């Protein structure tokens, strides 16, 4: 049993779907489960639609029509016969959104979000399963919500591993014996059968859940890059592919923000010692990266950039020390406002934290912190994390930058900085 995961970038248009069909039909494995995300950037568009509906904006129908048109253009390209049953199937999937939009937005926003946004994965998998079948592949469409069970935390469903494992073993394993299963990433369902999502970019995590519960022999994540590189090629000109990576380094890179793999992906597969292969859907025959229980550490320094960072520094109002009690109050407020800390550093009378900038969260957090502490903040910053750093690598990334915060552990260095010109 093996699991493949294809993300939005691999199925952004009809050409992409033809390409992944070639990859799948060339491997022709029975006992293969394929986990697929929404096409291209459709999740972002469905988020826009949700916001427009919740705030009763005028452009609700226009956004919805554009989303439908995007999918129907792809269907027309893949299935020239307009009487193909896929046309009705997709119309029916979108009707679920139609019904919702007809009502006043009185339900909880996170619940509404999940019911709308999940349709991206439903339609992409229906289209791809139908195309695979027409291409002679023994594909069956499977509803991930019958297997991935979560609690009621909409937008951030927490997996019920016991129930998920039981259903996958009992119901999914037999289905994969003679078929190639096509299912959705990113979505699950509550015990009352309402759809949940697992958090943005959560399809890699879905693939890892399926893999662990199937006791699969491998997970392959197909990307638009040749494998895991030592930096995101969008930010760095010279990158190197890392042929072998340990679970430990992979989870550290993902945790610090390397968007190539969702951070929650590694634990389930590491726990079952399942290898994770990251390969290119553009050059499917190329080697990629193998992530395993290897003991060696990364052969080259790796860089992770995050832009749009906020940095806040928190001081007790009476010049007293930052002690455990203050820290616990501070952490509780970060937790309350759902602000995820990227870096932190404390001194005798200050505690500094960087995190992804979100205007609303920042204002609310500062308002709460200011009741007990003096707070200073900066926005528009960059955070670079270097795993296996040395002075040369630090110098390389800090040219023409002002450093606001630098935190070093034995293997990892994090620097919060901004362009020198920005303050002159």
Ligand X SMILES: N[C@@H](CC(=O)OP(=O)(O)O)C(=O)O
Ligand Y SMILES: Nc1ncnc2c1ncn2[C@@H]1O[C@H](COP(=O)(O)OP(=O)(O)O)[C@@H](O)[C@H]1O
Bind-site residues for substrate: 43, 121
For helices 86-102 and 109-117, what crossing angle results, to 10°?
Answer: 170
Q: Which partner in ligand Y, ligand X, none is near 202 (CB below 5 to 8 A by kind)?
A: ligand X
Which residue number has the CB closest to ligand Y?
Answer: 7
Q: Of 68, 94, 89, 79, whose CA–CA distance to 17 is shortest? A: 79
C-alpha distances (whole Å) from 411 to each of 240, 249, 252, 303 are 19, 10, 10, 12
Residue 393 interacts with ligand X (CB under 6 A)?
no
> Residues 25 to 44: which contact ligand Y by CB under 6 A?
none
Determine the size of the site formed for ligand X (CB under 6 A): 12
Stretch near ligand Y under the rule CB under 6 A, chosen from 141-149, 258-266, 339-347, 350-358: 258-266
Residue 268 interacts with ligand Y (CB under 6 A)?
no
Helix ranges restricted to H, 118-246: 119-134, 161-167, 173-176, 203-214
Residue 260: both structure tokens together: 């190539």
Residue 225 interacts with ligand X (CB under 6 A)?
no
CB of 280 to ligand Y, least distance (A): 10
Helix ranges restricted to H, 196-323: 203-214, 247-255, 266-271
Q: CA angle at residue 275 from 271 to 279, to 5 degrees? A: 135
Residue 3 interacts with ligand Y (CB under 6 A)?
no
CB of 155 to ligand Y, least distance (A): 18
Residue 295 interacts with ligand Y (CB under 6 A)?
no
Question: In terms of DSSP bridges, do strands 139-141 and 351-356 run parallel, antiparallel, or are they unpaired?
Answer: unpaired
Sign of CA dihedral 100, 106, 107, 110: positive
Stretch near ligand X under the rule CB under 6 A, chosen from 60-68, 201-209, 234-242, 399-407: 201-209
Determine the size of the site formed for ligand Y (CB under 6 A): 15
Q: Of 335, 347, 326, whose CA–CA distance to 405 is shortest? A: 347
Q: Which partner in ligand X, ligand Y, none is near 225 (CB below 5 to 8 A by kind)?
A: ligand Y
Long-range pairs, 261-264, Cβ under 8 A, ≥24: 261/204, 261/221, 261/228, 262/201, 262/202, 262/203, 262/204, 262/205, 264/198, 264/199, 264/202, 264/204, 264/205, 264/208
Q: Are 44 and 62 in contact (CB under 8 A)?
A: no
Long-range pairs, 94-98, Cβ under 8 A, ≥24: 94/64, 94/68, 94/119, 94/123, 97/49, 97/64
Task: Give the Cα separation of 8 and 120 in Å (integer).
Answer: 10
Residue 200 interacts with ligand X (CB under 6 A)?
yes
Residue 43 interacts with ligand X (CB under 6 A)?
yes
Q: Which of 259, 283, 332, 370 binds ligand Y (CB under 6 A)?
A: 259
Task: Give the Cα separation of 259 and 14 in Å (integer).
Answer: 25
Q: Which residue has the tokens 């994965």?
A: 121
Residue 8 interacts with ligand X (CB under 6 A)?
yes
The contact pattern for ligand Y, residues 194-223, with x = CB under 6 A and - = no contact, is -----------------------------x
Q: Which is nearer to ligand X, 122 or 369 (CB)?
A: 122
Q: Which partner in ligand X, ligand Y, none is near 401 (CB below 5 to 8 A by kind)?
A: none
Q: Which partner in ligand Y, ligand X, none is near 200 (CB below 5 to 8 A by kind)?
A: ligand X
Stretch near ligand Y under the rule CB under 6 A, chosen from 19-27, 93-101, 257-265, 341-349: 257-265
Residue 188 interacts with ligand X (CB under 6 A)?
no
The contact pattern for ligand X, residues 106-125, with x = CB under 6 A and - = no contact, is --------------x-----
Q: Which of 195, 203, 313, 352 binds ligand X (CB under 6 A)?
A: 203
Can you give the binding site for ligand Y, defined by CB under 6 A?
7-9, 223-225, 228-229, 231-234, 258-260
Can you give the binding site for ligand X, defined by CB under 6 A?
7-8, 37-38, 43, 120, 185-186, 200-203
């Amino acid at each position: 049993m093996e699991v493949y995961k294809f993300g939005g970038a691999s199925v952004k248009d009809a050409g992409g779907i033809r390409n992944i069909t070639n990859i799948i039909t060339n491997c022709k494995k029975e006992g293969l489960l394929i986990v697929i995300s929404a096409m291209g950037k459709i999740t972002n568009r469905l988020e826009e639609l949700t916001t427009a509906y919740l705030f009763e904006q005028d452009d609700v129908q226009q956004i919805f029509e554009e989303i439908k048109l995007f999918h129907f253009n792809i269907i027309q390209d893949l299935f020239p016969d307009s009487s193909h049953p896929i046309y009705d199937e997709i119309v029916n999937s979108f009707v679920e959104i139609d019904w919702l939009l007809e009502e006043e937005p009185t339900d909880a926003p996170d619940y509404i979000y999940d019911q709308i946004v999940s349709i991206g994965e439903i339609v992409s998998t229906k289209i791809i399963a139908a195309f695979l079948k027409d291409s002679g592949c023994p594909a069956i469409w499977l509803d991930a919500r019958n297997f991935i069970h979560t609690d009621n935390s909409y937008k951030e469903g927490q997996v019920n591993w016991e129930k998920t494992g039981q259903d996958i073993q009992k119901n999914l394993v037999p289905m994969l014996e003679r078929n190639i299963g096509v299912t959705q990433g990113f979505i699950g369902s509550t015990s009352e059968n309402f759809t949940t999502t697992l958090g943005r970019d959560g399809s890699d995590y879905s693939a890892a859940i399926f893999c662990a519960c199937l006791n699969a022999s491998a997970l392959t994540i197909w990307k638009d890059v040749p494998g895991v590189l030592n930096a995101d090629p969008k930010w760095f000109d010279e990158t190197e592919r890392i042929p072998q990576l340990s679970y430990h380094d992979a989870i550290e890179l993902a945790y610090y923000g390397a968007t190539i793999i969702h951070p929650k992906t590694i634990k389930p597969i590491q726990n079952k010692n399942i290898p994770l292969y990251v390969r290119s859907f553009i050059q499917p025959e190329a080697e990629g990266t193998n992530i395993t229980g290897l003991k060696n550490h990364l052969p080259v320094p790796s860089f992770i950039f995050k832009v749009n960072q906020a940095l806040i520094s928190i001081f007790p109002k009476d010049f007293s020390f930052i002690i455990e009690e203050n820290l616990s109050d501070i952490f509780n407020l970060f937790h309350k406002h759902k602000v995820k800390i990227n870096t932190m550093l404390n001194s005798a009378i200050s505690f500094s934290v960087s995190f992804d900038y979100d205007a609303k969260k920042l204002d609310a957090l500062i308002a709460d912190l200011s009741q007990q502490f003096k707070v200073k903040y900066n926005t528009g910053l960059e955070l670079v994390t270097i795993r296996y750093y040395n002075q040369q690598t630090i110098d390389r990334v800090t040219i023409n930058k002002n450093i606001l915060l630098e935190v070093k552990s034995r293997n990892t260095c994090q620097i919060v900085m901004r362009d020198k010109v920005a303050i002159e």
